[in-house]
Structure 1
Amino acid sequence: MKVRLKDTLTKQFAGRGVIIWGGIAVLLAISATEIVTILQDGFIGAPPKSIRGALAGVILCIALVIGQRWVAAALGIYLASSFFFFGNGTLLFWMVFSVVIFSALAATAEYRHVRLWYLTVLTGWMVQFIFRAGDDAILTLFLAPLAALSYTLTRSIFLLRERNDKAVQEMKDAENRSLMAIEAERKNIARDLHDIVAHDITVVAMQSKAAKFANDGQMALDAIDVIAKLSTETLHDLRLMLNVLRTDGTMADPAVSATDKPAATTVYAVQGVELFSQRLREANFVVSSHTEENISELPRSAQTALYRVMQEATTNVIKHALPGGECSISLTVHGEEAKLKITNQIANLATSKHSLPVGGSGLIGMEDRMKAFGGKFNASEHDGRWILTASIPF
């Protein structure tokens, strides 16, 4: 309740509200004596000045209330009332304070033509006042500068307020863009962590099983070598990725940077075809691969995206493909597109269809990577083979 009341009062008395409610208070204070006189003497017995002053005060207060929403209408009522009530200097206080209040109100009008219209008509009223007021015409020497000062000062304040509001809004927009960038970066980091960890841990798990059930000691040793190599690479990639999150830009262990080889994120797409083809061969798949060298002309960021798609796709092949089956990786140029195509045999379509990686987070991540570069992504089953295609504009 208190918060709602505070918000209402802030809205009513902020900006234009100060002029309106302050003006109403001043006009009612000026008219109070005349209103009391009318109540005591009656409307018929009251002096004409009291009647005119009370009516002027009430009408101008009503105009100010209307000005809370319709500024042009309030200014129109005031100007019409000025021609009717202020033909001479009889209602001096009403005339002086009203020209200050309504000139300030005009300065808050949003549309320029409303402000120009008010100033033009007000000038016309002052000109006719000089001819109608007789000896009171001298008042224009006081009213004109007063109206100009009130309008100019209020307009300056409102322009400053508008610039301040614009600056505040720009700061809010910048903050929102920063939050969106942070959120996008979090998603990118989460996606990279998924690609790195899911791939390498999957290969480690498969090689661990191979070592466990191997009848040949050399095969077991080869599997352990693969596990050791992947574990080292995974640790290195995770260390570099966590380094990105550090505000000082340094690794937890400074000595590591001098000895570590480049991370997986710095490997070219062409190298990725070779690397993941070898990973699949180590997992006992029959692999064929093809790469066109002009792929290396792609920007590094685009190559990284293709590399990550290959990494995640390789993980899916190891998890879902027919053990020891055929698979292929090709990275070629078709027209103005760099196209990646990965295929593999499905273990048993009738029994393993539920395990196909349709709609998983990995596929979503791969599709997001391609869309970020204006590319395309598709993954589907056809004739017992899982076919994944990804393309980026060349």
Structure 2
Amino acid sequence: MTADESAGPTVGPADFWSARPLNRAMLVLASLFATVSFASDFANAITGSGTLDAPQTLVILLNCLAIYVLWTRTTFAFAALIPALVASHLLDAFWMTSLVVPLLLGAVAATAQKSFSLVALAVSVAWTLLIPFTTTTFGPVVWVALIFVALGWGVGNFVGFLLDRRLQDQARVAEATRRAARAAQEERKSLARDLHDIVAHNLTIISMQTRAAQYAGTDEAARHAVDVVGHSATEALADLRRMLSLLQAEGLVAGDQEAAQIELGEGAAALDLEYGAVKFGRMLEGLGIETHVETEGLDQDIPRSVQTALYRVLQEAVTNVAKHAAEGGQCRICIRVNDDRLELAVDNTLPVRGAPARAGWNSSGSGLIGMRDRVDAFGGTMSSQRDGSWWRVRG
């Protein structure tokens, strides 16, 4: 006895009459059995080669109708079997019904709700136990009928158990697929943040220094601007290579994972917070922004993942300073460990109200969102707000 593997309840929430639909192949076989049985018995009755009489024909017809109703629901089919159960006792015709009862009981046990299957079991047992009281011909058959009923019930419950397990497995696979999709989405967001931080920062510096080189008053100033452009391009390439090594080390892209791990280890110092603060401070100085850098307590054992996250936050904050700080403005960068908390502060002066933003840069706000996401990932907080003529970032 089988049921459709992917089937669930046919309608809405589970109720007394709800049931999984049966497998189509079983429905076809059951219908053929009913049709062939009725047609052969009826043909024998017409030709006079059998002993089939009108009462037996009626009982067989009622059983066949119940089997055909299986195409709707097993619960409806068992309910449709009730007239055949009653007629078999009244007309003393049991052989066809004794085969159909275990069949439909097993189908109900495999597909219907437990409450309905228990009722169906009680009806089947009651019908079987009443046989000795309504017939003298089929009385000894009661024990065989009880065995068939028990087998139908047992096999149906076993199939139902397997179907439930399969549905649970399918639900777990679906949930795992949804979790993998969410993880992949988060990974894509993280990759997008990294690309934004790396590319946006260095391209901002390169763009500004290129403009400075165009309008430089002396050859020395132009050479300095070109040197900064070259250094920023080298930094961007190194960062992109580190990202590629990380993806290779985690097996997300093709490559030598062992070599990638070595390269990541060798390049870890490049994301050191103290080194980054000094480097970014010099970049801002090269853009004509007076910058003061202060670090405290960074010699402590700070997890590499935390340092990397805060390094990227610092990088994005400095990029925003380069975009929006006034020409000849000021910036203060402070990174320190305070009571086992790693704190970052980046403050910069703002242009005079009404003055255009430095180099005509606009902000999409995605950088601030990425900064907050990085800090939130480690249970921290981040704020960015205007304070008079200053813009203050805290993380």
Bin for the TM-score computed over the shorter chain: 0.7 to 0.9
Given candidates 321, 333, 347, the residue that maps to 1:317 is 321
Percent identity between the aligned chains?
A: 27
Write the distance in 2 (CA, Å) between the matches of 1:260 and 1:214. Answer: 40
Change (3 A) 1:131 1:194: same
Asked if 1:373 corresponds to 2:378, the answer is yes
Change (3 A) 1:16 1:47: same
Which residue type is aligned with residue 360 of structure 1? G
Write the distance in 2 (CA, Å) between the matches of 1:17 and 1:367. Answer: 55
Please name the residue that 1:348 is paired with.
Answer: 352
Write the distance in 2 (CA, Å) between the matches of 1:389 and 1:379. Answer: 6
Instruction: Give the drift of 1:96.
Output: 2.7
Change (3 A) 1:292 1:86: farther
Please name the residue that 2:73 is paired with.
Answer: 67
8 Å CA contact 1:236, 1:263 repeated in 2: no
Write the distance in 2 (CA, Å) between the matches of 1:137 and 1:336. Answer: 87
Q: Which runs of 5+ in 1 are unaligned?
A: 1-6, 38-45
Q: Which runs of 5+ in 2 are unaligned?
A: 1-5, 11-18, 45-52
Change (3 A) 1:366 1:269: same
Given candidates 91, 101, 104, the residue that maps to 1:102 is 104
Per mean C-alpha deviation after superposition, the further-off stretch among 80-89 and 183-192 is 80-89
3-state SS of paired residue (2:111): coil
The alignment yields a C-alpha RMSD, in angstroms, of 4.1
Given candidates 187, 191, 194, the residue that maps to 2:193 is 191
1:19-71 deviation per Cα after TM superposition (whole angstroms, max 9, x unaligned)? 5565455445545589999xxxxxxxx9444445444544x357646635xx2
8 Å CA contact 2:348, 2:391 repeated in 1: yes
3-state SS of paired residue (2:323): helix
Number of paired residues? 369
Write the distance in 1 (CA, Å) between the matches of 2:373 and 2:55. Answer: 81
Change (3 A) 1:199 1:111: same
1:230-286 deviation per Cα after TM superposition (whole angstroms, max 9, x unaligned)? 3222222212323344544339xx79x77995157x623344333322322232221
Change (3 A) 1:50 1:295: farther
Map 1:160-309; keep pairs closer than 5 Å: 160-246=162-248, 247-250=253-256, 262=267, 267-293=271-297, 296-309=300-313
Write the distance in 1 (CA, Å) between the matches of 2:216 and 2:167. Answer: 72
Which residue type is aligned with residue 139 of structure 2? A
Instruction: Give the drift of 1:83.
Output: 5.0
Please name the residue that 2:22 is paired with.
Answer: 15
Given candidates 367, 373, 390, the residue that maps to 1:362 is 367
3-state SS of paired residue (1:329): strand
Map 1:36-115; keep pairs closer than 5 Å: 47-55=54-62, 57-58=64-65, 60-61=66-67, 64=70, 67-68=73-74, 71=75, 74-76=77-79, 78=81, 80-81=82-83, 83-87=85-89, 90-115=92-117
Which residue type is aligned with residue 15 of structure 1? L
3-state SS of paired residue (2:382): strand
Write the distance in 2 (CA, Å) between the matches of 1:137 and 1:283. Answer: 106
Change (3 A) 1:357 1:137: farther
